[in-house]
Structure 1
Amino acid sequence: MHYPEKKLQVISGVIDSVIDKILEFESKYKVQLDNVHPNYTQSARNLIHYLALRSFDISDLQEKLDEIGLPISPESKNSIYHRLLNFKTILNSLLNIDPPAHEDIHLTNKEAKIIQHRNSQVIFGTIKNKRETAIMITQPTEAATDKNFVESLLKLGMDCARINCAHDDEIVWKQIINNIKEIENECKIAMDLAGLKIRTGKITPGAKVIHIRPKRNMLGKLVAPARVWLAPKGIEPPKGKQVDAVITVNEKWINKSEKGSTIVFMDARGKKRKIIIDEKENNGIWGLCNKSAFVTIETVLNVFFEKNTTFEVHSVHDLEPLEAIIFLSNGDLLRLDKEPISGNPAVLDDDGNIVEIAHISSTSPEFLNNVQVGDPIFFDDGKIGGTVIETHPKYLIIEITNAKKKGGKLRADKGINLPSSKIDFRGLTDKDKKDLKFIAKNADIVNFSFVNNKEDVAALLEELKKLNANLGIVLKIETSEAFRNLPSILLKAMENYPIGVMIARGDLAIETGWKNFAIIQEEIIQICDAAHLPDIWATQVLENLTKKGIPTRAEITDAAMAQRATCVMLNKGPYLEQTVKMLDQILCKMQRIQNKKGALLPQLEFNENL
C-alpha cells in the first residue's frame, strides 16, 4: 500500500516532537518521579509521558493517520513511550530511513496490563463472578444489626464495602465491619473521611405524624406491605428487623392480640385504613399495612380480637415529629443563616402573602464569609439551585432559580455547593483526624474526600505516618480544583501504595458545571489509565432502581458505560439487593463486548506545577 511521503514526514515530525517533550518532562519532574513508591516507578513515568503527549493536540495527528489509512494509532495510554517508538519504527520503514538505536528499556503494553491488574487487585481484592469490574456498596445503618442483609449483599456480588464517616458513629461502623468480616473476611472495607462538606443545619420539627408507606414500584403496584411495630413506650423494635413505622400504644391490649387480629382506623385525611397483626414479639406486635396512611395523636384505633367478633377502642400514645421539610420553588427567596438558628418554611398571612421568607442555617458558617453577590449556590447534590442576591454579616439571601415544577424539598444535613466562591480550607478537619484513628485500625482503604491539591495529600500522608497506618488511599475527585491538579495529586499520592481514584460525580458535576462534566469524567478515566491506577465510577448509579424499584433507561446506559472503570459504587436504598444483582449482570454482559477504547485527544489543560 502506498502512503503519501509528505504526510508521513509530517506525522514523523510530530512524533519526534512528542518524544522530545517526553524527555523534557522526565527531566523536569525527576524529583517527583524519584519520590514515588517503587511499585509505581513505571506507572509514574508513564503518567509523565501521557502529560507530555497531551501537551499537544493529538486529535489533529489522529485525523492525519486516519486520512492515509495507517492502521496504527499512537494514543494508547498505558505504555506510551513504547508505542511511540514502535510507531516511529514503522514510519521510518515506510520512509526508507534507518531507525536510530533506542537502548532504554520501556514498559510494554503487556507489562502495563499486568501492573494495572496488580494495582486493582491490591485495592479491591479478588473480584467476584469473573467480573473485571468490582462493585463497592455504601453500607446503610441496618447493616450493623441485620447480618442476613449483609450476607445477601456479599452473595449477590459486593466486593468492597463503603462506610461514610459523615453518618452514624464508631459503634455502628464497628458492628457493620464485624458483620461483614464474620461472613467474608476477604471483603475489603473502605471508609470515607467526611472532609469539609458544608451542609444545611437543623430544621424545626414538623407536626407529630407517622406516615405509613408500603413499598410500591414506579407503576404504583404494591411490592411489599409496610411493617408497623406497635408497642408500649420504651419497647424498641427487635434489632435487625425491617421496620417502616413505630406506633406507641397502651400495653393493655397487646397481650390480647393474636395473629390475624385487625386494627381499623380513619387516618388524618379521613381515609379508612387497616393494619393486620402478623406476629407478637418482645412485648410488642408486628402489623402489616397495604395502603398509605397518616397517623396522628388523635387517631382512634379500633382493635378487633378473636376473628373480629369483639373489639376495643384505643388511642395512639406518642409519636415522633414528622421529618421537617422546606418546600422551595423558582422565584422563592431563602435566607441562609450563619448562626445556628433552626430552619423554617416561609410564613404566610391569611391572604397567602409572605410575611417571613424561608430560612435555614449552615453547619460551616465560617465558609460563607467569602461568598459574593451573584455567586451560584446549590443544595442537595444540585437538586435545588439559586443565586446569592444579598450578603449580610449574619446571613445570605438567595433567590431560587432551579427547582422542580412542584417545588424542591430542602431537608436538614444536605450538602451545600458554592462552585464559584473561594473556600479557604486545606488539609484535614479535626473530625477527619479523629476518624482516621478508627479507620487505621479497622479498614483497608481510606477514601479522601474533597482533596484539592498535593498539599492536602501531604497532610493525609503525614497523619498516616503518625498513626503508623498501612492503608490504601482512594482520592475522591469532586471539585474543579482537584481536577486541574489531578496529575500532581496522583504523583504525591503515589508515594503511598496502593492508591486509587473515585470520580465523585455528584459534587464534581455541580462544581465543574453540567456542560463540562461529561468531558471531565472521561479525562479522569484517561489519566487513571495512564497512571495504571484503579478508578471508581460513583454517585447515582442505578439510583432510581435502588430507591424506587425500577430503573430508568438512562441509568441502565450509565451502568453499562461504568464497566470501563475498575469499580462501580452503589449508594444505599430500599431496593439495594435488587440493584446489586442487576449491576452484576450488566457488568458481566458488557465486558464481553466492551473494553476501554481510544478517544480523540485535544490539548489537556493541567497545572504543570507538579
Structure 2
Amino acid sequence: MLIAHSEINRHLICDYSSLDLSNPEILLNALQQLRQLVIQEGEEIFNQWRSRIQRQNFLQSSQNLAYYLALRRHDLRPLQAALMPWGLSSLGRIEARVLPNLDAAIATLGAICGSCSDSLPNRPSLAAFFEGDRLLEQHTEDLLDAKLNQRRVRIMVTLPTEAASYYEFVRDLIQRGTNCVRINCAHDTSAEWSAMIANVRIAEAETGHSCKVLMDLGGPKPRIGIARCLRHAGANAPNAKQRIFRGECLLLTRDLPTTNESTCFQVNCTIPEILDQLEVGASVWIDDGHIGARVESITEEGVLLRITHARIKGEKLGADKGLNFPDTTLRFSPLTQKDRQDLDFVATHADIVGYSFVQEPADIELLQRELQARLPINASIPGIIAKIETPLAVSNLPELIVQAAGKQPLGATLLRIWCKIKE
C-alpha cells in the first residue's frame, strides 16, 4: 500500500489507486494502516487541545473529535465501496464512534480472512460501540436538561414581555413541556428579565418540571440604518419604502444618506467599519436574501452595489433590513457595549448564554472571561449556545467546540451562511 506525503496539508494520506481492494486481505491491511494513521494524527490534534480542556466529561468526546478530523483528511471512498460487498460498515456514519467503528470493521474482516486475533484490535462491546451516542445525550442534558415523556427533542420558547407580569402564562408553558425559555436581550430591561425568571422559578416549583433559562445577547447587527431613494419626486424622505430592481445601483454609506442629486438608492450601515473590509466583487445580501448585490466600486462616498437578484416586480428597501456579507471575513468584536452591560445581569441569572457572530476561539475566550469576571468564586459558569453565521466560523468549528466545551456545556446553531438565491 502506498503512503503519500501531501505538500498541501503536510499530512500522510493513503493512496489506494494501485491496490486491489476486492481482495479482503489487501482491504484489511488498508484499514489497519488507516487506523494507525488516524490514531497518530488524532493524538497530535488532541495534544494541542489538551490544555484547554478542563471538563473531565468532555475529554473522551474531544478525543473522538480529534480522531474524526484525522480520519476526514483521507479520501475514504475507495474503502467505503470495497467494504459494502462484504456487508460491513461503509464508515459513512462514523462521527460519534471513530475508533470503535474502525475496530469493528477490522475485527470482522480479519475473521473473514482467518487472520490471527493477536494482530487485530478487540471487537468493541455493544456499550463501547455506542458510548459516543451516550456521551452526546449526556452533553445535551448538561446544556438543556433531560427530555420529558420520551420525546426525542427539547422545546424552547421565546418569552414575550407579558411573561414578566403574567405568571399563569409562564406556568402553562412549563406545565405543557417547555424545557427552556429564551429571553431576547435586544428587548426589555433587566427589570422585566428578572420578573420573567422569577416566574419561571416559581413555575418550576409548582409543576415539578425543570426549565432552563437562555438569555440571548443582542450582539452586533449589520443592518440598514436609514434608506433614502432620490429617483422620484417626494421620495427622498428618510426610510420611505421604495422598490429596487435588478440592475439598479445602491450606495452603501458609513454616514447618513445625503440629499444630493444621485439617482441611486442610498442606505447607511449600522456597523460602518464593515465598509472598510469590503472588496470589489464581494457579494452582499439584504433582507434575508430577498435582495442580492455585488460590490461594483468603492468610492469616497461609500460602497457602490449593483443589484443582482430581485423579483421582477422589485423588492422593498427600507430601514432595519439585515445585511449579510458571505464572501467577506468580517473583523469586529462579537460583544457590543450593550452586551457587556447586559452581562452584568446575564452572568448570574442565565443557565445558558446565546452568543452571536462567533468566528474564532478568541471570541469564545472573550465571553468566558467576561462571564468569569462577573461570577462569584467557585460559581458554575453558564452554558453557551454559539451561533455559527459565517464561513470563517464553519472552518473554525472544531476549535470553537474545544474552547467552549472544554470549560462549560455547549450547543451550536448553524444559521444561514449563504442566502438562498431568489428569482
TM-score normalised according to structure 2 size: 0.80
Using the TM superposition, name which of 6-15 and 357-366 deviates more. 6-15
1:453 corresponds, among 336, 345, 360, to: 360
Unpaired stretches in structure 1, ≥5 consecutive residues: 205-320, 348-353, 516-610
Contact 1:472 1:499 in 2 (8 A): yes
Residue identity in the other structure for 2:407: N
8 Å CA contact 1:377, 1:419 repeated in 2: yes
More contact order relative to length (CA 8 Å, sep ≥ 6): 1
Residues 412-454 of structure 1: CA distance to partner in whole angstroms, max 9, x if unpaired? 2232111223422255333332222221122110122111111
Q: Does 1:423 align with 2:330?
A: yes
In the TM superposition, what are the counterparts of 1:367-386 in structure 2 within 5 Å? 367-386=274-293
Do the aligned partners of residues 509 and 177 (structure 1) sit closer, same or farther apart at CA in structure 2, a change above 3 Å counting? farther
Contact 2:21 2:79 in 1 (8 A): no
Match of 2:395 among 479, 484, 487: 484
1:475 is aligned, of 386, 396, 416, to 386
How far apart, in 1, do the equivalents of 2:320 and 2:181 lie? 23
> What are the residue-to-residue correspondences of 1:295-374 with 2, within 5 Å?
325-341=241-257, 356-374=263-281
How far did residue 171 of structure 1 move? 3.4
Change (3 A) 1:490 1:355: closer
Residue of structure 1 in register with 2:43 after alignment = 27
- Corresponding position of 2:306: 399
Tell whether the 8 Å contact from 1:375 to 1:420 is kept in structure 2 after alignment.
yes
Residues 107, 121 of structure 2: 8 Å contact kept: no
SS of match in other structure, 1:393:
coil
Q: 2:183 aligns with which of 153, 157, 163?
A: 163
C-alpha distance in 2 between matches for 1:145 and 1:325: 36
CA distance in 1, matches of 2:170, 2:287: 28
1:72 to 84, 89, 94: 89
Alignment counterpart, residue 10 of structure 1, candidates 19, 26, 29: 26
1:187-266 equivalences in 2 (<5 Å): 187-202=211-226
* Structure-2 separation of matches of 1:514 and 1:331: 15
Which 10-residue stretch deviates more, 10-19 or 34-43?
A: 10-19
Name the SS for the 1:137 alignment partner.
strand
2:116 maps to which of 82, 98, 121: 98
Q: Which moved more, 1:22-31 or 1:481-490?
A: 22-31
Q: Is the 8 A contact 2:88 2:105 kept in 1?
A: no
Query: For residue 444 of structure 1, what is the aligned residue in structure 2?
Result: 351
CA distance in 1, matches of 2:405, 2:52: 8
Describe the superposition over 1:192-216 as per-residue Cα deviations: whole angstroms up to 9, x where unpaired. Answer: 2233331211458xxxxxxxxxxxx
Secondary structure at the counterpart of residue 134 of structure 1: coil
User: Which amino acid in structure 2 is aligned with residue 509 of structure 1?
Assistant: W
Mark the CA change 1:87 to 1:399 in structure 2 (over 3 Å): closer, same or farther.
Answer: same
Q: CA deviation at 1:81?
A: 0.8
Larger CA deviation: 39-48 vs 135-144? 135-144
Q: CA deviation at 1:45?
A: 0.7
Displacement of 1:341: 4.5
Q: 1:94/1:488 Cα in 2 relative to 1: closer, same or farther (>3 Å)?
A: same
| Counterpart for residue 133 of structure 2 | 113
Q: Which residue of 2 aligns with 1:509?
A: 418
1:116–1:480 CA distance, 2 compared to 1 (3 A): same
What is the CA deviation profile of residues 159-199 of structure 1, one whole-angstrom value per residue up to 9, with x for unaligned ones? 21222333443334334333433333621111222333312
Query: Cα deviation per residue 1:552-603 (whole Å; 9 max; x = unaligned)?
Result: xxxxxxxxxxxxxxxxxxxxxxxxxxxxxxxxxxxxxxxxxxxxxxxxxxxx
| CA contact 2:295–2:303 (8 Å) conserved in 1 | yes
Map of 1:530 onto structure 2: none
What is the DSSP-based 3-state SS (H/G/I as helix, E as strand, rest coil) of the residue aligned with 1:32?
A: helix
Q: Is 412-421 or 478-487 further displaced after alignment?
A: 412-421
Count of residue pairs the alignment pairs up: 382
Show CA shifts across 1:283-307 (max 9, x none).
Answer: xxxxxxxxxxxxxxxxxxxxxxxxx
Per-residue deviation, 1:398? 2.0
Q: What's the offset of the Cα at 1:92?
A: 1.2
CA contact (8 A) 1:446 1:474 kept: yes
Give 3-state SS (helix, strand or coil) of 1:400's partner: strand
The root-mean-square deviation of aligned C-alpha atoms, in Å, is 3.2
Q: 1:51 to 1:41 in 2, by over 3 A?
A: same
Q: Which residue type is aligned with residue 442 of structure 1?
A: H
Q: Of residues 46, 61, 68 in structure 2, which corresponds to 1:43?
A: 61
Aligned-pair CA distance for 1:155: 4.6
CA distance in 1, matches of 2:123, 2:88: 26
User: Normalising to structure 1: TM-score of the pair?
Assistant: 0.57
* Cα offset, 1:394, TM superposition: 3.3
Shifted more, 387-396 versus 195-204: the winner is 195-204
CA distance in 2, matches of 1:148, 1:341: 47
Which residue is 2:318 aligned to? 411
Q: CA deviation at 1:479?
A: 0.7
Distance 2:123 2:408 in 1: 26
Q: Corresponding residue for 1:290?
A: none
CA contact (8 A) 2:226 2:239 kept: no
Larger Rg: 1
Deviation at 1:152, TM superposition (A): 4.8
Q: Tell me which moved more, 83-92 or 168-177.
A: 168-177
Secondary structure at 1:369's aligned position in 2?
A: helix
Structure 2 counterpart of 1:21, one-letter code: L
Q: Spell out, residue by residue over 1:298-334, the C-alpha distance to the aligned partner (whole angstroms, 9 max, x if none).
A: xxxxxxxxxxxxxxxxxxxxxxx99853432223322
Q: In 2 relative to 1, CA 115–370 (structure 1 residues): closer, same or farther, beyond 3 Å?
A: closer
Give 1:86 deviation, angstroms.
Answer: 2.2
- Residues 218-257 of structure 1 show CA distances to partners (whole Å, capped at 9, x for unaligned) of xxxxxxxxxxxxxxxxxxxxxxxxxxxxxxxxxxxxxxxx
How far apart are residue 357 of structure 1 and its match? 3.0
Following the alignment from structure 1 to structure 2, what is the Cα–Cα distance between the partners of residues 188 and 55? 38
Query: What is the deviation of 1:465?
Result: 2.3
Counterpart residue identity of residue 96, structure 1: G
In 2, Cα distance between equivalents of 1:156 and 1:405 = 45
Instruction: Name the structure with the higher strand share.
Output: 1
Report the Cα distance in structure 1 between the residues aligned to 2:395 and 2:383, rounded to whole angstroms: 23
Q: Which residue of 1 aligns with 2:77?
A: 59
